[in-house]
Amino acid sequence: MESSNHLKTEGRHRKAIRVGKSTKKSNVMNYYLSVLKNYAKFEGRARRSEYWYFALFNFIFMIVAVILDNVLGTTIEPLPYGVFYFFYILVVFIPSISVLVRRLHDVGKSGWFYFILLIPLVGLIWLLVLMFTDSAPGENEYGANPKEIA
């Protein structure tokens, strides 16, 4: 598909339409889907928006799974969640780690930096700060800046 503007004639009016560009609303869900498509891709970089939209949809889908478990009675007795929740967690476990590693690459850190979480409290705060940090400008050892590509 071309990504240039084309003129479309409708009666007497001509208007420019953009071909190959999707709307903002469809892009939001595409971030989540792109993480699932690249579920085992640990190289490269992930923009903040890709990471945080994935985290948002992941949270929403986990809540939906918990509600389904409770409504359908598939919870595991002492816990408020069950089969649907655990199945969803199994499906997104590897993609969650891969997008986090690519996000670390985007700020110029190694994927092994993930293990900073082993330091109680400080590790979590440090990792959150890194997830909110803007992309390292230009190309780094993990590839080109996704902001500059798009």
Q: Which long-range contacts (CB under 8 A, 24 or more apart) does 86-89 make?
A: 88/61, 88/62, 89/62
Tell me the three state secondary structure of residue 5.
Answer: strand
Amino acid identity, position 92: V
pLDDT at residue number 26? 54
The pLDDT profile of the chain, 150 residues, written as one tens digit per residue, is 444 434 344 444 433 333 334 445 557 888 899 999 988 899 999 999 999 999 999 999 999 999 999 999 999 888 888 999 999 999 999 999 999 999 999 999 999 999 999 999 999 999 999 999 999 888 999 998 888 876
Q: Is residue 56 part of a domain?
A: yes
Asked whether 104 and 97 are in contact (CB, 8 A), the reply is no
pTM for this predicted structure: 0.77
Asked whether 105 and 46 are in contact (CB, 8 A), the reply is yes
- Cα separation, 147 vs 107, in Å, equals 12
Q: Is residue 9 part of a domain?
A: no
Q: Is residue 89 part of a domain?
A: yes
pLDDT at residue number 124? 95
Please count the structural domains in the chain: 1
Domain of residue 131: give its range: 25-137
pLDDT at residue number 6? 40
Amino acid identity, position 124: L
User: Which tens digit of pLDDT belongs to each residue from 36-45?
Assistant: 998 889 999 9
Name the nearest CA neighbour of 104 among 51, 56, 63, 53: 51
Amino acid identity, position 100: L
pLDDT at residue number 5? 39
Q: Is residue 100 part of a domain?
A: yes
Owner of token pair 């939209």: 53
Q: Is residue 78 part of a domain?
A: yes
Residue 140: C-alpha distances to residues 51, 89, 107 (Å): 19, 32, 9
pLDDT at residue number 150? 63
Asked whether 111 and 104 are in contact (CB, 8 A), the reply is yes
Q: Is residue 76 part of a domain?
A: yes
Q: Is residue 46 part of a domain?
A: yes
Q: Is residue 5 part of a domain?
A: no
